[in-house]
Chain A
Amino acid sequence: MDGTSSGDEFAVGCLLSIKTTFGDEFEGQIITYDRPSNIIVLQEGLKSSPQSRRNIRLLKANYIKEFSFLGQSEDPLDLKNCYVDLNSLQSKEDAAVRQAEIDVERIGVGVTAEAQSIFDALSKTYDYASVFSLMLPVRWDKTVIVVMNEVRVSSPYLAESVTGGTPAANERVRKVLELERRRLQTRGGGQ
């Protein structure tokens, strides 16, 4: 326990099959095991061929219920090729956050699954508009679906709930709404 590297490194490359206390089961190859934090890092899959992208799992070792040793393989990490560019990581994160924020706009909070389906159907219909405007033509405003910033569909999202916009736009939204409702019904009365 003197922190010698030899004690830790023997685990690298081991192929294990693990079952956690929550019932998850998986197999993987050990990339590393860090004793102080008690975290074991696994690479999913048993083949040790180097890939650029891997499914990684960090697991606190104290939640391992049982495991079995499947074999020993070589180090999955090619130390010569381990490069990290912090700037690109930062921009990757920024992009991901941006995307997530956009996605948030598309998911209603406190709305029924049915309402969300209607929203999605409207989004698909107005998709071509988004190509040009680069903005969401359909968005949530609390529990109201707002289409092209004009037409509003509020609960209970019936044809009567469609308000606003030009008559043509209103009609359009109504039509899509009815189609979607019909579709939901034929699929078994909603979710």
Chain B
Amino acid sequence: MNPQQAAQSRSSANGFTRRRGEKEMGNRLENKFQPGKSNNRMTTAGVQTGNKGGIDSPSHDRLVYLTTCLIGHQVEVQVIDGSLFTGIFHATNAEKDFGIILKMAHLTKPGSSREQKNISGSVQKPPSKTLIIPAKELVQIVAKSVPVTRDGLMNDLQNDQLHDIMIDSSISQSRHVDLERELKPWVPDDDIAECPELDNTFDRHWNRGWDQFEANAALFGERGIHFHDKFDLDEETKYSSVFRGVDDSGYDEDEDILDSQNSQTFGDASDSLPNKSQLTSSFPTSVEVQSSNLNTTDDFHPSGALDGASITENNQTNQQQAGSNHTNQGTEKHMVYDQKHTSQSKESSLLANKESTDKGPSTTVTASAPTNVSSKAQEKTCSGEVSSTSESGNAAPTAASGSRLSPSSSIGSLTSEKSTLNPNAKEFRLNPNAKSFVPSSAPLRPASPVSDASFYYPANVAPAPHMHGMPVGIGMGPAFPSHQPVIYGPQGTPLQPPPTYFHPNNPQYGQQMLLGQPRQVVYMPTYPPVRKLNLILFK
């Protein structure tokens, strides 16, 4: 390999030329860095120092290797006046005398030549974005938990990725972030106990002692969701009392039969049913109309003009109505069960029915599922007002005869395909002991201290607007005549005393410094999906 390549590969530890030579270095150094072998990669022909042998030695290789391992690591550097700087190791000029460069460095311990800050005065100076420490100033570098071997390096990378995700949690815990810090559980101070609403934001309504699974087990003898053979049935199909066939085309022929049965059950009222066939699963059962001359259109439709499409809203509505004791974090599973066996939905449906049955005679519409076709579906009616009229008598055996088509009679829909009851539906059983839903006056979530409107503020998108100290002023060019202090305070004035200043000894170094020019890195958090989530949760 030629000397230039060697020089570039040597400067791999030096961050400046990393970009330039990265490709080459990537090939050579990415996987194997064998400091002991001085055969090929680490030839040193291009080095200008007098110590020919020193650079070539494996000792030097080791040094370079170890400093490379330090890149990105938090280090503590002691300089000649005793000051300690803490920062992220960025680079070193390995070919020369090992001056180093730190990023986001700040003074942790002032040395003898610095003024001691007043204890009750300022806490800290802002960290410098780039800090250059010449080799002459350097005393020692201390780094903790440095991954030296390959495994360690891989672990480190994974930890970093985890750490990125955990940034917020680490932000809130301490201001001195140490990657290797041992996490301690947060113990609330005594004072903070006075603000319970914050701590218990999600605790309060979470579990008032209602175990859905137990309730289901009691009612149905099963816990959780059990899948039928037809695994791909969604819950609506499974638990809805209305059977919605998948294939629409096949219903044409059935409609006649539907008509006949409908007319038997409901009289002639079935024509004008506007798409009310699609009972959603929110309506747990079909409704049996007692009176034959009852206009079914008005009667039985419980929750307004529901249709299958609005099942989601309905589920939510029902959930609230059904008095589920869960917050809106409750799952849909629960909703389904709720509909099946709580009386709330019945009540709501009854209520809705009453609203809509202005026209009809004062028959009470009972929410029952007489026409649930499944063989196990022997529905009882709820409020006891069911008398077995001829119609219901008709309906029942018709339904029980196992035809899927007849159940639609209770719905009364003719036109729509989806007019049959769900043969797979679970039997409806009224639970007289179920809690009736009473909307509590308290909000579902304790009032947050900040009003909703201003709760989420995405506008603050510039968390690092200020430059923390200008980096090297030497980036002007290779010729750097004046002894300008390198480190600047936030106002652009040099710090007192300038801890380091850089004398470029040769154009090469100065040129390299160009790459260290100020780069305004503004950290822009971009997490739009999370924002949306936030809106949903807190509205």
Contacts and interface: CB of A to CB of B under 8 A. Distances in A.
Interface of A: 2-5, 8-9, 12, 20, 22, 24, 31-37, 39, 41, 50-60, 63, 77-79, 81-113, 116, 120, 123-125, 127-136, 139, 148-150, 165-166, 168-169, 171-172, 175-176, 179-180, 182-183, 191
Interface string B511-539: 00000000001010101001101100110
A84 B449 CA distance: 50
Nearest to B152: A52
B117 to A, nearest CB: 11
Q: Which 7 A-B pairs have the closest CB atoms?
A: A3-B53, A52-B152, A93-B72, A172-B449, A36-B54, A92-B72, A32-B62
Interface in B137-154: 138-154
Contact of B447 (A78, A135, A168, A180): A168
Contact of A134 (B49, B168, B201, B454): B168
Contacts of B186: 124
Given A39-B63, A179-B194, A130 B168 contact: yes
B177 A103 contact: yes
A135 B458 CA distance: 8
Contact of A133 (B35, B449, B456, B521): B456
B506 interface: no
B56 interface: yes
The bracket for how many chain B residues form the interface is: 35 or more
Interface in B54-79: 54-60, 62-63, 65-74, 78
B160 A82 contact: no
Contacts of B38: 5
Interface of B: 12, 18, 22, 25-26, 29-36, 38, 49, 51-60, 62-63, 65-74, 78, 82, 87-90, 97-98, 103-104, 119-127, 135, 138-157, 160-161, 163-164, 167-172, 175-177, 179, 186, 189, 191-192, 194-195, 198, 201, 447-451, 453-461, 463-464, 468, 490, 521, 523, 525, 527, 530-531, 533-534, 537-538
A96 B459 CA distance: 25
B49 A113 contact: no
B191 to A, nearest CB: 4
Given A20-B139, A86-B26, A91-B160, A53 B534 contact: no
Contacts of A149: 457, 459-460
A102 B171 CA distance: 8
A113 B88 CA distance: 25
Contact of A112 (B30, B121, B154, B450): B121
A106 B463 CA distance: 10
A71 B57 CA distance: 24
Given A32-B66, A55-B143, A106-B175, 17 more contacts: A3-B52, A20-B139, A31-B62, A36-B49, A36-B97, A57-B140, A77-B62, A84-B30, A92-B72, A92-B156, A97-B103, A101-B521, A109-B124, A125-B195, A132-B537, A135-B460, A171-B449
Contacts of A89: 68-69, 71-72, 153
Give the interface centre of B38, B121, B453 by most chain A CB atoms within 10 Å: B121
B78 A179 contact: no
